[in-house]
């Protein structure tokens, strides 16, 4: 089984994350980016849905078991390359020429929750899973591009509370604060997400141009504000 794979249902490309907790490491990120390229270049899909094969977890973010030893060995070049690769995924999603919908099928923690914010719409399983940024307790400050991504999806007052406290939100709480479009029971999540995705049917060219303009602050933060932090090589992780 591939780390990331896709199938097409009418106008919707369904991408499934298959790597267990779907933690971000170079192999996983490369597979995800490659799959996005395949969907764009090899299909005529108009909407992208991303979900997870794990029964409890959408994505738990950065693979700390991989990255912490890299940083402890002072392999700064590898660490920098990883964060640029992670930003490449975030940037790819916010500029993708298809409308994008995350079907959050379980826990979305840390980088997994940040990635969720890059999507245009979010549906979330209501009976299991939290949406959470535990970085404050892990000692990991957000890059400017990450903050810009969060502000795309989360009201400022709630974003500040989540960043400063590390609180966990249920799907119902996410819906209350308009972080997600809808909270769904497990058995209904993918069907409801697909029904919504199939209703969109917007042409790629206008979608991408609108994204490039609407998400320009995020693009600028990733392209211009993040590199000085990454190049500093001061990764406070672990």
- DSSP for 41-61 reads HH---SEEEEEESSSSEEE--
DSSP state of 178: T
pTM: 0.96
Sign, CA dihedral 132-216-81-100, equals: positive
The whole-number pLDDT of residue 237 equals 61
Tell me how far apart the alpha carbons of residues 238 and 219 are, in angstroms, rounded to a whole number.
28
Task: List the alpha helices (DSSP H) in 3-143.
Answer: 26-42, 64-72, 76-94, 111-118, 135-138
The whole-number pLDDT of residue 116 equals 98
HEC profile of 193-238: HHHHHHCCCCCHHHHHHHHHHHCHHHHHHHHHHHHHHHHHCCCCCC
Tell me how far apart the alpha carbons of residues 58 and 105 are, in angstroms, rounded to a whole number.
5
Residue with tokens 């999507």: 119
- Chain mean position to CA 141: 17
Angle at 34 between CA 144 and CA 153, to 5 degrees: 35
The whole-number pLDDT of residue 238 equals 45
The whole-number pLDDT of residue 192 equals 97
Q: Which fold has domain 4-198?
A: 2-enoyl-CoA Hydratase; Chain A, domain 1 (3.90.226)
Over its length of 238 residues, how does the chain's per-residue pLDDT go in tens digits?
Answer: 799 999 999 999 999 999 999 999 999 999 999 999 999 999 999 999 999 999 899 999 999 999 999 999 999 999 999 999 999 999 999 999 999 999 999 999 999 999 999 999 999 999 989 999 999 998 889 999 999 999 999 999 999 999 999 999 999 999 999 999 999 998 999 999 999 999 999 999 999 999 999 999 999 999 999 999 999 987 766 4
The whole-number pLDDT of residue 233 equals 81
Angle at 44 between CA 41 and CA 45, to 5 degrees: 105
């Amino acid at each position: 089984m591939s780390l990331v794979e896709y199938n097409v249902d009418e106008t919707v490309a369904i991408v499934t994350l298959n790597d267990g907790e779907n933690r971000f490491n170079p192999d996983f990120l490369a597979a995800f980016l490659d799959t996005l390229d395949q969907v764009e270049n090899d299909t005529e899909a108009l909407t992208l849905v991303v979900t997870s094969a794990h029964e409890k977890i959408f994505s738990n973010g950065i693979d700390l078991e991989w990255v912490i030893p890299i940083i402890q060995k002072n392999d700064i070049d590898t660490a920098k390359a990883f964060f640029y690769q992670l930003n490449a995924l975030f940037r790819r999603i916010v500029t993708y020429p298809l409308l994008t919908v995350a079907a959050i099928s379980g826990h979305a923690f840390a980088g997994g929750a940040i990635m969720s914010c890059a999507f245009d719409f979010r549906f979330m399983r209501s009976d299991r899973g939290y949406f959470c940024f535990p970085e404050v307790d892990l000692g990991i400050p957000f890059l400017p591009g990450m903050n810009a991504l969060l502000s795309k999806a989360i009201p400022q007052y709630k974003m500040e509370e989540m960043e400063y406290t590390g609180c966990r939100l249920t799907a119902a709480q996410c819906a209350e604060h308009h972080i997600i479009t809808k909270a769904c029971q497990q058995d209904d999540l993918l069907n409801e997400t697909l029904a919504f995705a199939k209703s969109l049917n917007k042409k790629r060219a206008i979608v991408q141009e609108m994204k490039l303009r609407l998400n320009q602050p995020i693009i600028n933060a990733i392209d211009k504000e993040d590199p000085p932090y990454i190049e500093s090589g001061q990764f406070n992780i672990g």
